[in-house]
Amino acid sequence: MWKHSEYDSKLLSRFGLSAYSQHPLLDAVEIDHSWYKPPTQSQYQDYATRLPVGFSMLAKTFRDITLPGSAVYLNAGYFREHCLLPFTQGLAGHAGPLLLAFQAGSITGPPENFLAQLSEFLHEIPSDERLRARLTLEVRVPSLLSSHHRDAYCRLLNDFSIAHSFIHHPSMPPIIDQARALSAVRQPWLVVRWMLRHGMTHDEARRRYSPFSAIQTEDVLTRKVIVALVKKAITSNRRAWVIAGNKAEGCAPASLFHIAKLLADSAQ
């Protein structure tokens, strides 16, 4: 996206967000560093001052919240104080969905035990706070989509009025299969994260696609599936967020531009 050599890392750190947010087709961005350390309310407020009306930010919850064995694993009090409230209060009208992301392999016990723990955690978060944060689950546990567990997973999502994040990643089935398995979920909003091409590791994608300045491997089917989900959300008056990574096709902004064009073409 940044083609000129004078755009060094320090300059992008200072002005990149403001420049990105001015693009008419790019009206949302995901905060990556929140996964490693929870941003403070003042940090979120600083982001908000640089954003135009209508631009929103997504954030992944601090990883220790979703890491079994950590001191604050599914600790609702810690989560509310250090993650949820700083996010919603700091960003205010710029707050998009807050993601509870459980990484592949992090849940090793029976899925029913995990869902019970997750339910207890969600019960401790006031419903208005869950709604204001647009709390969204990204659980890279394919077995939750199986016939043995998907009904319980769907009930949990519906009972707490939270959304499932449709993640395109080798650790999960294709997005179209996720959508079919979770057809009973009301999905109060749509979150799609198109992160990494199936069959590749992060390192392989980095070597193949760097410097991420152009599409290297088109994934037309995934584009069409994402467009179908977005159109369904729009027709049911739900907001939709689509986040793309450079390792999906080689250039995240270009992937989003292709999706936008497909949406525009389908509306004609």
Residue 15 pLDDT class (50, 70, 90 cuts): low
Q: Where are the beta strands (DSSP E) in the chain?
A: 28-31, 56-60, 95-102, 135-139, 163-168, 190-194, 240-244
The pair phi, psi for residue 30, each rounded to 5°, is: -105, 135
Whether residue 232 is predicted with pLDDT greater than 90 in this model: the reply is: yes
Tens of pLDDT, residues 178-205: 999 999 999 999 999 999 999 999 999 9
Q: pLDDT at position 13, please?
A: 54
| Residues pairing with 29 in the sheet | 57
Choose between 9 and 208: higher pLDDT: 208
Is the separation of the CB atoms in 102 and 148 below 8 Å? no
Look at residue 8 and tell me if it is in a domain: no
Tens of pLDDT, residues 217-228: 999 999 999 999
Q: What is the pTM of this model?
A: 0.93
Contacts of 110 (CB under 8 A, 6+ apart): none
Whether residue 3 is predicted with pLDDT greater than 80 in this model: the reply is: no
Q: What is the mean pLDDT of residues 56-66?
A: 97
Whether residue 14 is predicted with pLDDT greater than 60 in this model: the reply is: no
Look at residue 39 and tell me if it is in a domain: yes
* CATH (domain of 28): 3.20.20.410
Tens of pLDDT, residues 153-172: 999 999 999 999 999 999 99
Tens of pLDDT, residues 65-83: 999 999 999 999 999 999 9
- Domain count of the fold of the chain: 1
Look at residue 181 and tell me if it is in a domain: yes
Q: pLDDT at position 267, please?
A: 82
Contacts of 181 (CB under 8 A, 6+ apart): 145, 150, 173
- Distance (Å) of CA 4 to CA 7, 18, 67, 158, 245: 6, 17, 40, 47, 21
Look at residue 4 and tell me if it is in a domain: no
Look at residue 5 and tell me if it is in a domain: no
- What is the residue range of 215's domain? 13-266
Q: pLDDT at position 10, please?
A: 54
How far is residue 256's CA from residue 192's CA, in Å, rounded to a whole number?
A: 12
Look at residue 7 and tell me if it is in a domain: no
Look at residue 179 and tell me if it is in a domain: yes
Whether residue 258 is predicted with pLDDT greater than 50 in this model: the reply is: yes
Q: Beta 56-60 vs 240-244: how paired, if at all?
A: unpaired
Q: pLDDT at position 2, please?
A: 44
How far is residue 83's CA from residue 64's CA, in Å, rounded to a whole number?
A: 11
Tens of pLDDT, residues 125-147: 999 999 999 999 999 999 999 99
Look at residue 2 and tell me if it is in a domain: no
Whether residue 84 is predicted with pLDDT greater than 70 in this model: the reply is: yes
Q: What is the mean pLDDT of residues 102-120?
A: 91
Whether residue 42 is predicted with pLDDT greater than 80 in this model: the reply is: yes
Residue 1 pLDDT class (50, 70, 90 cuts): very low
Is the separation of the CB atoms in 27 and 55 below 8 Å? yes
Residue 260 pLDDT class (50, 70, 90 cuts): very high
